Amino acid sequence: MPKTFMPEVTDVPGLRELQLRGLQWTVAHAYRGSEAYRKKMDDAGVRPEDIRSLEDLTRLPFTTADDLREGYPFPLLCVPFEKVTRIHASSGTTGKRKVLCYTRKDVDDWTHFFARCYEMAQLTPEDRVQIAVGYGVWTAGISFQMACEAYGAMAVPAGPGNLDMQCEFLVDFQSTVICCTASMGLLLAEEVNRRGLRDKIRLKKMIFGSERSGDAMRRRIQELLGLEHLFDIPGMTELYGPGTGLDCVYHTGIHYWADYYILEIIDPETLDPLPEGETGEMVVTTLRKEAVPLIRYRTRDLSRLVPGDCPCGSVLPRHDRILGRSDDMIIFRAVNIYPGQIDHVLSGIPGLGSEYQVHLERRSDGRDTMRVKVERDPAGDAAGDRELIVEVMNAFKTKILVSPEVELVDYGSLPRSERKSKRVFDDREP
C-alpha cells in the first residue's frame, strides 16, 4: 500500500470531530501562549472552556493583519523562542511587513499537507517537478521542494524568471510538472512555442501559485503547451504558505485541507458568516499550528464555498478560485467591482486574448470613466473589432453593471510580467 498524505478521516462527522478537537486545542494553546490572544479573548468575554462545539467558533474575536503588524517582529507567538525553527515574511503592500514563525512540527505539517497537493494532482515518483517560484524569506519555494521530496518525485529547484534556463531545463531534464505563477506560465508557454520546443519537452501538468488567473489565460497556456492539467495552488504566509489546497483532476473547485484549518466565508461589511455558494471574505482558523496559530484570521481574500460533492469523492470541501482581495475592490460610480469579475467576463468572450488593462479616470466635469484595453485573440483580425467591442460592452453592462469604453489592441502588445501583472490603473484623484 503506497503512503498517502490524505486525511485519516473519510467522512464528514469524522472531519467535524477532528476540527472540534483541533479548535479546542488551538484556543487553549493561544490563550495560554500569547498575551495578545489572551487579551482579545478576555475582551470578547470568551474563554477556552466555552468552545464546546464548532458553532462556538463565531463567539471568538477576529484576528487581522493589524494584530500581526502590532506585534512586529514576532507577532502572536505562542511558543518559547527555542521552539522556533524558521521564519517567513510577506512583503505586504501597505504598512509594515508581516513575519511568521514556525516550529519544527509546523514545518513538518506543512510538508505533509503540501505533499497532499502532489497526490491530489496525481503525480507519481516518476514525475520531475520544475519549481520555478522564488526561494527566500518572502516566498516559499522551499515548501514546494520539501513536499516534492517527501512525496518522492524529483525536484528541479529552478527558481523564478530566467526563461532561457527554464526552457533548457524543460528540454534537458524532461520535467513533467512545472510550478510557477500564471504570468510566468504564459510567458514560458509563448517562449516554448517561439523556439519550437513543443516536441522536445514532456511537460504534462502546471501548478499555478499566488495569482488570480482568468480562464482565457489558462486555456491559452494549456493549448500552447499541450498540458493535461492546470492546478490552482492557494497559499498565504499567515497560513503556513502555499499548499493549503488544490483542485483535483475534475477541476470543480479547490479542495482545501479542512483537517488543518477551518474556512469561513463572511460578509466583509457586516462580518456575518455567509451561506455556501455566496462570495465573501475568507476567514481561517488553524487547528494544529503551534508557533503562530490563527483564530478567525481575516485574509482579505475573496472566494466562496462550493456546494455539493466533488465527483472524486474526497471528504475535503472546496472553495472557488480567489476572486481578488477585498482591498482591491474598485468602486466605480457606486458599483463594487472585484478584478476577478473582469477576468471572468472577458474570459467568456471568444475572440479575445488573455491580457487586458482597466484604466479609471476622472473627467474635468467630475464624472468617472472606465476604459478597458483588451488584446485580440492571436488569430484575430481587426476587421471584426466593431462587433467584438459591442459584445464586450454588453457583457460589462449586464454582468458588472458598468459601461466602459472598450479598445482592442493587437495580441502581445500589452506588457507581460514574470511576476504579478498589474491590470487595474486607477488614475482618479483621491
Binding site for Zn ion (CB under 5 A): 248, 250, 310, 312
* Nearer Cβ to Zn ion (51/258): 258
* Nearer Cβ to Zn ion (250/425): 250
Contact between 123 and 144 (Cβ < 8 Å): no
* Nearer Cβ to Zn ion (275/308): 308
* DSSP secondary structure code for residue 273 in this structure: B
* Nearer Cβ to Zn ion (134/243): 243
Radius of gyration over every alpha carbon of the chain, rounded to an integer in angstroms: 22
Q: Give the distance from CA 175 to its chain's centroid.
A: 24
Query: Which residue shows C-alpha cell 491580457?
Result: 355
Q: H/E/C letters for each residue in 39-95?
A: HHHHHHCCCHHHCCCHHHHHHCCCECHHHHHHCCCCCCCCCCHHHEEEEEEECCCCC
Q: Distances from the Cα of 39 to the Cαs of 30, 31, 50, 60, 61, in angstroms?
A: 11, 8, 16, 12, 10
* Nearer Cβ to Zn ion (265/310): 310
CB of 151 to Zn ion, least distance (A): 18
DSSP assignment of 284-314: EEESS--SS--SSEEEEEEE-EEPS--TT--
- Dihedral of CA atoms 279, 270, 298, 422 in degrees, nearest 10, equals 60
* Nearer Cβ to Zn ion (141/317): 317
CB of 315 to Zn ion, least distance (A): 10
* Nearer Cβ to Zn ion (313/366): 313
CB of 258 to Zn ion, least distance (A): 13
CB of 310 to Zn ion, least distance (A): 3
CB of 409 to Zn ion, least distance (A): 38
* Nearer Cβ to Zn ion (137/306): 306
Beta pairing class for 261-266 and 280-286: antiparallel
β-strand partners of 256: 245
* Nearer Cβ to Zn ion (36/248): 248
CB of 253 to Zn ion, least distance (A): 8
* Nearer Cβ to Zn ion (32/251): 251
Where do the DSSP E strands lie in 220-344? 229-233, 245-247, 254-256, 261-266, 280-286, 297-303, 305-306, 318-319, 324-325, 330-332, 335-337
CB of 277 to Zn ion, least distance (A): 17
Helix or strand run (H / E) with residue 389: helix 385-399
How far apart (Å, rounded) are the C-alpha atoms in residues 121 and 151?
12
Amino acid at 409: V
CB of 313 to Zn ion, least distance (A): 7
CB of 419 to Zn ion, least distance (A): 30
CB of 255 to Zn ion, least distance (A): 6
Contact between 340 and 356 (Cβ < 8 Å): no
How far apart (Å, rounded) are the C-alpha atoms in residues 121 and 119?
5
Contact between 370 and 341 (Cβ < 8 Å): no
